[in-house]
Chains A and B, each alone.
Chain A
Amino acid sequence: MLTRSIRGFFHERHFLEIDTPVRLPAPALEDYIDAEPAGPWYLRTSPELHMKRLLVAGYERIFQIGPCFRQGERGRLHLPEFTMLEWYRAWSDYRGMLSDTMDLLRHLDRTLNGGSGCEFGGGTVDVQSEWQELTVDEAFAEFADGVSAGEAIAEGTFESVLVDRIEPHLGHGRPTILKDYPVAMAALARPKEDDAGRAERWELYIGGLELANAYSELTDATEQRRRFEATAELRRREGRDVYPLDVPFLEALEHGMPPSGGIALGVDRLAMVFAGADRIDDVVAFAP
Chain B
Amino acid sequence: MFNASDLRKGLKIEIDGEPWIVTEFDFCKPGKGQALYRCRLKHMLNGNGMDRTFRSVDKIDKPDLMQKDMMYSYCDGVNYVFMDPETYEEVLVGSDVIGDQSHFLIEEANCEVLFYREKPVEVTLPTFIEKEIVETEPGARGDTATNVTKPAKLDDGYEIQVPLFVNQGDVVKIDTRTGQYSERVSKA
Which residues of A are at the interface with B, using a C-beta cutoff of 8 A? Answer: 30-33, 72-78, 156, 158-160, 162-164, 167, 185-187, 203, 210, 213, 238
Task: Count residues of chain B with CB under 8 A from any CB of chain A.
Answer: 16
Q: Which residue of B lies closest to A156 (CB)?
A: B55
Chain B residues with Cβ under 8 A from A75's Cβ? 26-29
Chain A residues with Cβ under 8 A from B28's Cβ? 75, 77, 159, 163
Which of B26, B32, B33, B36 counts the most chain A CB atoms within 10 A?
Answer: B32
Q: Is A185 in contact with B33, judged by CB distance below 8 angstroms?
A: yes
Enumerate 6 A-B pairs (CB-CB under 8 Å) in ascending A order.
A33-B32, A74-B27, A78-B29, A159-B34, A187-B32, A210-B30
Partner of A159 from B5, B26, B27, B33 at Cβ < 8 Å? B33
Q: Which residue of B lies closest to A238 (CB)?
A: B57
Q: Is A159 in contact with B57, judged by CB distance below 8 angstroms?
A: no
Main secondary structure of the interface of B (DSSP, over half): loop
Chain B residues with Cβ under 8 A from A73's Cβ? 27, 29, 35
**How far, in angstroms, from A76 to B26 measured CA to CA in the complex?**
7
Which residues of B are at the interface with A, using a C-beta cutoff of 8 A? Answer: 5, 26-36, 53, 55-57
Chain B residues with Cβ under 8 A from A78's Cβ? 27, 29
Known contacts: A32-B35, A32-B56, A156-B55. The answer to whether A72 contacts B30 by CB under 8 A is no
> What are the 3 tightest A-B residue pairs by CB atom distance, in nearest-first order?
A75-B27, A159-B33, A159-B34
**How far, in angstroms, from A186 to B33 measured CA to CA in the complex?**
10
Q: Is A32 in contact with B27, judged by CB distance below 8 angstroms?
A: no
**How far, in angstroms, from A155 to B121 measured CA to CA in the complex?**
39
